[in-house]
Amino acid sequence: MFENIYFLDVEKADEPKIKKAFPQARIFNKKISPREIVKKCYDAEILCVFIHTQLNKYVIEKLPNLKLIVTRSVGYDHIDLVAAQKKGVKVCNVPDYGSHVIAEHVFALLLSGLRHIGEGDERVEEKGIFSFAGLRGVSLKGKTLGIVGVGKIGSNVARIASLGFLMNVLAYDPHPDRNLALENHFQYVRLKTLWKKSDIITLHCPLLPSTRHLVNQKTISLMKKGVVIVNTSRGKVIDTKSLIKGLKTKKISFAFLDVLEHEDNIKKHKKLISMPNVIVTPHIAFYADDSMQTMYSKALESIYEFLNGQPLKNQILGT
């Protein structure tokens, strides 16, 4: 029986469900550095983490008893899979803990920004002015939405956009699924075509070497003047300097971001965050009641499977 189970990056509100499942588990609430992980979790056999916990080569190699890593997230770019595979450590993720929740946040950002919700509320509440002057918005109906990456989240975005807001939806994905396109009412196109034809572009791709700075000066130059960019995937998919330049020149009319390139030091984004045509939320697209419940239940399920010698349904290939 594996006794040394550690849960990192846990909110106080989520501790009871962990303690109920694994009373002996040790829990850390605050973000801890790789060196602290090695020091405080040295005897760990199972680590359950979230995206803020960096499990790099150093950590994986320095934990002698480590057998399983479970990340309570879809993405796993915070884990060195090569080091894990070399050491024989299995890695699981939560492939879908609430794709509809993240898709909903895309439209929360779009509607908040394009319809000036925050500015309107401030005008009434803080300034005592009940006037719509200067707050003319942009409607979604009839606009072309370009979706980069149509997995579970992207396909939900497509469905809401096409059936809910009556938008024209284009999508790019390296692995097209024609049935998915028919079910969710979107059309696959080449990435270059998506850049050129979309009024709004929303990013739902993983962070890979091929997607790092996917939105850059060159790709922005291909886009329509006045394009709107939404990012709820990973911050490093966008080159921040190119984004700022595009906003300044009005090539990009709005940027709505739930992620940043340097989330560990947002002072680097002071210029971007202060721009009036930018909305930034602190990585909360996933953060809803039902998604958090699913996130933990699926992560705990992977641990149960491992402890009982069962196949790991959510094991990441290559580990």
Of 73, 77, 41, 76, the C-alpha closest to 60 is 41
pLDDT of res. 2: 60
Q: What percent of the chain has pLDDT over 90?
A: 94
Catalytic entry in 116, 123, 204, 234: 234
- How many CB atoms within 10 Å of residue 244? 17
- pLDDT class of 318 with cuts at 50, 70, 90: confident
Residue 3 has pLDDT above 80, yes or no: no
Under 8 Å between Cβ of 139 and 116: no
The conformation of residue 238, written as its DSSP 8-state character, comes to B
How far from 256 is each of 114, 147, 230, 315, 316, CA to CA, in Å?
Answer: 10, 14, 5, 32, 30
Pick the closest to residue 201 from 261, 273, 149 (CA basis): 149
Phi, psi of 154 (to 5 degrees): -60, -40
Residues 316 and 73 sit within 8 Å (Cβ to Cβ): no
* 99-280 has CATH 3.40.50.720 classification: yes
Q: List, for residues 63-106, the tens digit of each pLDDT value.
A: 999 999 999 998 899 999 999 999 999 999 999 988 999 999 99
pLDDT tens track for 234-244: 999 999 999 99
Let me know if 283 is a catalytic residue. Answer: yes
Indicate the class that CATH gives domain 5-97+289-307.
alpha beta
Q: Where are the domains of the chain?
A: 5-97+289-307, 99-280
- Residue 86 CA from chain centroid, whole number: 27
Q: Is the pLDDT of residue 24 over 80?
A: yes
Is 305 noted as a catalytic residue in this protein? Answer: no
- The pLDDT of residue 1 is 57
Q: Are 5-97+289-307 and 99-280 in the same CATH fold? A: yes
Do 296 and 304 meet the contact criterion of CB atoms below 8 Å apart?
A: no
Stated as kind and residue range, the H or E segment containing 316 is none
Annotated catalytic residue, options 26, 159, 212, 283? 283
- Of the listed ranges 1-5, 113-117, 120-124, the least confidently predicted one is 1-5
| pLDDT tops 90 at residue 155 | yes
Alpha-carbon Rg for the chain in angstroms: 21
pLDDT at 174: 97
**Model pTM score:** 0.88
Look over the chain and give the mean of its residue pLDDT values, rounded to a whole number: 96
Residue 25 has pLDDT above 70, yes or no: yes
